[in-house]
Chain A
């Protein structure tokens, strides 16, 4: 076998943390190998050690052979020539991995200058060629743009152009689509697979998403706690997994199940919006607003109605206006026009007494439980403070709240950083439940979590909704999540509601092209292999 990359018994430690424990794998020329794992599994550390990009604290043992040469023993200058030339990497977040202060053309030109003797004009021509190859239409114009002027998908295309600029034999992609919208995710994956196929580049694809890699990978390695627990042909790993852990991962993927029989109940409407909209001034400073009166329409006039005890899903990609809508629903923001009605009474979020009363009716669970819990307060304090709006007699003990979200009350005296991501998100839910609200709004409740933890949180939300008879509004970009628990769905795009209806109806017989496209771009695991079988 023509091994392009051969990792033998790789071992990486950071102090006492044993990140990678004896990993061995090989990758042939032109092969597509995916490494799957949850956070802390060692998948990214493995990828970074191929490039020797780990920081100085890492202690590495074993061998990493690239085209027969041990990367771990290369000199600094040999290493520099290897990076970008023989092996290149595409990172997760294209916003932070591109230099913000140089235009795209300069960044491409500098990479070409580092590895080739091309004169300036030729470098420019090559840059245009590369941008065209990664599917950027106005390549010439793109050269002069800065990363912040590009969309997320465009940025990742530029990052890919940088990576393939010097024809590497191996491309490492570390969660290259995780920070992107679903529809863009499909395009970027497609681009990577097609480029590697056309140029015979070996692809090492790191991801947490089994359904995504199941569509194109030749082989899949599943990592858990620093070890490869299973490695084999994609069809075998996905279709007939041998390891217990792989089975657990596969079972945890939120797939569109067919949710509740659309209990469109005869219960009254609890929350509704009437042509509610929100626009922001474009100019940042007050002075500039004097002559720049242009507005950015974050939300066009939208109507929605939620019945008591219903689960409504609001789904949309970034910039769709779903978070703006959530802020209006909970009274954190004032609509520019229209109104939000809670049990038929318009919200007046500016009124302080009403705000206080409102906090007992509607609560919000935030996306990042790490950022939304005060790091300097214990869980006990965070939960007690959440009950301050209640009269003393109605306050529950923090321990009771913990039990409600199936957490051990012994954790009450810990600080947020001493909890796992899943535990923190449960605390976030407990805090929202502290005032026994009638309505709970969960904004991307699972997006920061590992797949297996996502499942636990989804199950918890579902159980709480059923037991407490709450009205639940789930906002997410993840159709899998929405399709698992919602009775009704609202699809948003570019600040407007494009489709609304019973979840079963919308997800199986979508009425609009956008919803169809959204459903089509969902990764489908082995079932989706056909579309990657040949170049687009």
Chain B
């Protein structure tokens, strides 16, 4: 029952957000017709363009029409290029998803490892070292870090390809390795932030009476770590889920730096051209990712914490 409630509310969020996006993209004031046809296009051709694309109707009507078309035809065509938005997304979205997912995995694994080292070495050198690393990670902008990694690992050391992406067709490792540097550039900030949370959460659990019970019962260090990590996960899961959404924002910059043909390029071009159908589609997709991630986080929390699941 609770799961259904949660899914229903996720769907509601998606509706509300899609309406807001729709309205906001149209509040720009400048008709896309002007951008497509040029600043001195005659009024008749502007009117004709708007009529053709339905831009002369009230916003609510436009929204409903767009919504109605969504399940059957997907997103509309671009005003500017006339190209199908569906197709453009199909070309660019997978790469960005791969990049962000890889960054997410790096961030989760890295922050659990560093956070644990920090918590178990509380106020001793491992803690101090991780604290300094985390501060550095949080204060250095991702694109600059990307450039640094590109120069150091890609160019100087030559371990990984510095720019561009190697297609799947040339093998799994070559493909992933070409994404590793940009993924790291995105992940480092989140490793910094999430490892601090992991540390705080672990220290909290380590101070609980039941941790002492585990010691008193002579449980092995491995079992106790598994217990502690499991208990410390819930706040971490919420933060990780949100981070997954935020990483799309970072991906825009990092994809530009590493010259990756992902969503970033498509989004920036669309924004400059006021290509409403394209902007809407991309923003809605990112919202969808956010909503899915936070719903997943909620469901995972429920599974992790039996006290919520009643």
Contact = CB atoms under 8 A, between A and B. Distances in A.
B139 interface: no
Contacts of A97: 209-210, 212-213
A202 B230 CA distance: 35
Interface string A142-168: 000010100000000001001101100
B307 A162 contact: no
Interface residues of B, number: 24
User: For the complex, would chain B's binding face be called helix, strand, loop or mixed by DSSP majority?
Assistant: helix
Interface string B224-267: 00010011000000000000000000000000000000000000
Interface in A101-151: 101-103, 110-111, 113-115, 146, 148
Given A53-B215, A84-B217, A101-B230, 19 more contacts: A53-B216, A83-B217, A89-B213, A89-B216, A96-B208, A96-B209, A97-B210, A100-B210, A100-B231, A101-B231, A102-B227, A102-B230, A111-B218, A146-B306, A146-B307, A148-B307, A162-B213, A163-B217, A287-B5
Contact of B216 (A84, A96, A100): A84
7 contacts: A80-B218, A83-B215, A83-B217, A99-B227, A100-B210, A111-B217, A114-B218
A114 B212 contact: no
A93 B223 CA distance: 23
A114 B216 contact: no
A98 B219 contact: no
A84 B209 contact: no
Interface in B267-310: 304-307
A219 interface: no
Given A91-B209, A96-B209, A114-B223, A84 B306 contact: no
Interface string B197-211: 000000000001110
A88 interface: yes
Contact of A96 (B2, B210, B304): B210
Nearest to A106: B227
Contact of B219 (A103, A114, A159): A114
A99 B216 CA distance: 13
Nearest to B222: A114
A126 to B, nearest CB: 15
Contacts of B227: 99, 102
A82 B208 CA distance: 22
Contact of A148 (B215, B218, B304, B306): B306
Among B218, B219, B307, max chain A CB count under 10 A is at B218
Nearest to B226: A110
Given A100-B231, A101-B304, A148-B306, A88 B216 contact: yes
A178 interface: no
B217 A162 contact: yes
